[in-house]
Amino acid sequence: MFKLNKMHVLGGVAFSMMAVSTGWAQSTEPVQNFPSKPITVVVTFPPGGGTDILARLLGTHFTEAFGQSALVENRAGASGNVGAKLVADKAPDGYSLLMVNSSYAINPGVFSNMPFDPKKDLSPIINVAFIPSVIVVPADSPYKQLSALIAAAKPAKNSVSFGSCGNGTPQHLAGAVININGKVNMTHVPYAGCGPALRDVMGGQVPMAIITASSAAPHIKSGKLLALGITSAERTLQLPTVPTVAEQGFPGYQINQWHGLLVPSQTSPALQAKLYERVMKIVQMPDVKEKLISMGYTPAYDDPAAFRKIVHEDIDRFSVLTKTLGLKLD
């Protein structure tokens, strides 16, 4: 069975960093004086999406945590590669942060020519939060349980299709793993974002969709959508009565969409430690935690070493999966 397991280490503050290679001259500004000017947070997606909302939520507390404000800059394109390349080329002085989600780890498997090395050119600092996706159908769907949908999708020719937030997104791969592990034949219908997919599944244009839990939850609670399964290993606080996919015949199944901050890889370990410490304090603020949970996120405090492990293992894992699917976006 193809498994996408992931360990999230919560609350650890001590970590060890390997020495970084030389190239870009590291900042000559003493770490204790950092920052002495605003910090730019580059978001790899357009304004209004989940990653952007999280970056701006953190940014509102930068002055409190760092003594300097945050400048959030959206640099969308190529599923996040445009913004990532921009930050990878910045000076490793702590003033350029990159806010990404799991698409960062998927991209190496779906783009033949990456404009940067995602393992070597950028260093993970902190995993801020993760969120599962949810399998939803219209309220009047004939499929009231995931098992019924799986049974309908078994024949080589069937009418079961699933909408996702786009080719190569975690939602796309969540459905692909069900196809592989369940030996079923659901047809993938990619949309330009979770919003359009959500609209069409509510309108009955597509019989099922896999959407981020934060986007789907209000419509599930209002009765417009029926939730068949959560893609995380455990049930989510936002939808506690919805069983996980793993509970329903797919042991080991887990795909969470993480969101975190990265910096140019040659940023000094001491500066990376300071960035982690200050951002972690923001995530631990009661109002920030409450806001994250209300939006369907699980706050995370994975430190640089733990977050690096998550990112690198996901790059390897998703590369295997996208190769199995023959999925390419360029």
| 191 plus 91 within the same structural domain | no
- pLDDT for residue 16 is more than 50: no
Indicate left, alpha or beta for 122 from its phi (over 0: left) and psi (-120 to 50: alpha).
beta
| 264 plus 126 within the same structural domain | yes
Can you give the pLDDT at residue 49? 77
- Three-state SS for the chain is CCCCCCCCCCCCCCCCCCCCCCCCCCCCCCHHHCCCCCEEEEECCCCCCHHHHHHHHHHCCHHHHHCCCEEEEECCCHHHHHHHHHHHCCCCCCCEEEEEECHHHHHHHHCCCCCCCCCCCEEEEEEEEEEEEEEEEECCCCCCCHHHHHHHCCCCCCCCEEEECCCCCHHHHHHHHHHHHHCCCCEEEECCCHHHHHHHHHHCCCCEEEEEHHHHHHHHHHCCEEEEEECCCCCCCCCCCCCECHHHCCCCCCCEEEEEEEEECCCCHHHHHHHHHHHHHHHHCHHHHHHHHHCCCEEEEECHHHHHHHHHHHHHHHHHHHHHHCCCCC
Contact 296, 214 (CB under 8 A): yes
Measured distance CA(26)–CA(10) in Å, rounded? 29
Other C-beta atoms closer than 10 Å to the C-beta of 300 total: 24
| 209 plus 158 within the same structural domain | yes
| 201 plus 307 within the same structural domain | no
Q: Does residue 12 fall inside a structural domain?
A: no
Number of domains in the chain: 2
- pLDDT for residue 79 is more than 90: no
CATH label of the domain that carries residue 284 = 3.40.190.150
Query: What is the pTM for the complete model shown?
Result: 0.81
pLDDT tens digit sequence for 145-197: 999 999 999 999 999 999 998 888 899 999 999 999 999 999 999 987 888 89
Band (27; pLDDT cuts 50, 70, 90): low
pLDDT tens digit sequence for 274-328: 999 999 999 999 999 999 988 888 899 899 999 999 999 999 999 998 998 888 8
Q: Does residue 144 fall inside a structural domain?
A: yes
- pLDDT for residue 7 is more than 50: no
For residue 230, report the phi and psi dihedrals to the nearest 5 degrees.
Answer: -105, 140
- pLDDT for residue 61 is more than 80: yes
Other C-beta atoms closer than 10 Å to the C-beta of 293 total: 15
Mark 157-194 as b/e (b = at least 16 C-beta within 10 Å).
eeebbbbbbbbbbbbbbbbbbbbebbebebebbbbebb
| 239 plus 278 within the same structural domain | no
Other C-beta atoms closer than 10 Å to the C-beta of 292 total: 21
Measured distance CA(27)–CA(268) in Å, rounded? 8
Out of 3-7, 24-28, 166-170, pick the least confident: 3-7
Q: End of a domain among 248, 277, 308?
A: 248
Amino acid at 223: G
pLDDT mean over 5-15: 41
Q: End of a domain among 228, 248, 268?
A: 248
Q: Which has the closest alpha carbon to 55: 284, 303, 279?
A: 279
Name the residue range of residue 204's domain. Answer: 131-248
Q: What is the mean pLDDT of the chain?
A: 89
Q: Which has the closest alpha carbon to 175: 162, 166, 193?
A: 162
| 83 plus 116 within the same structural domain | yes
Sign of the alpha-carbon torsion through 325, 199, 48, 296: negative
| 125 plus 141 within the same structural domain | no
Band (217; pLDDT cuts 50, 70, 90): confident
pLDDT tens digit sequence for 235-258: 988 889 999 999 999 999 999 899
- pLDDT for residue 48 is more than 90: no
Contact 167, 190 (CB under 8 A): yes
| 200 plus 234 within the same structural domain | yes
Contact 186, 160 (CB under 8 A): yes
| 143 plus 184 within the same structural domain | yes
Contact 321, 173 (CB under 8 A): yes
Can you give the pLDDT at residue 304? 96
Can you give the pLDDT at residue 77? 85
Amino acid at 254: Q
Of residues 181 and 13, which shows the higher confidence score? 181
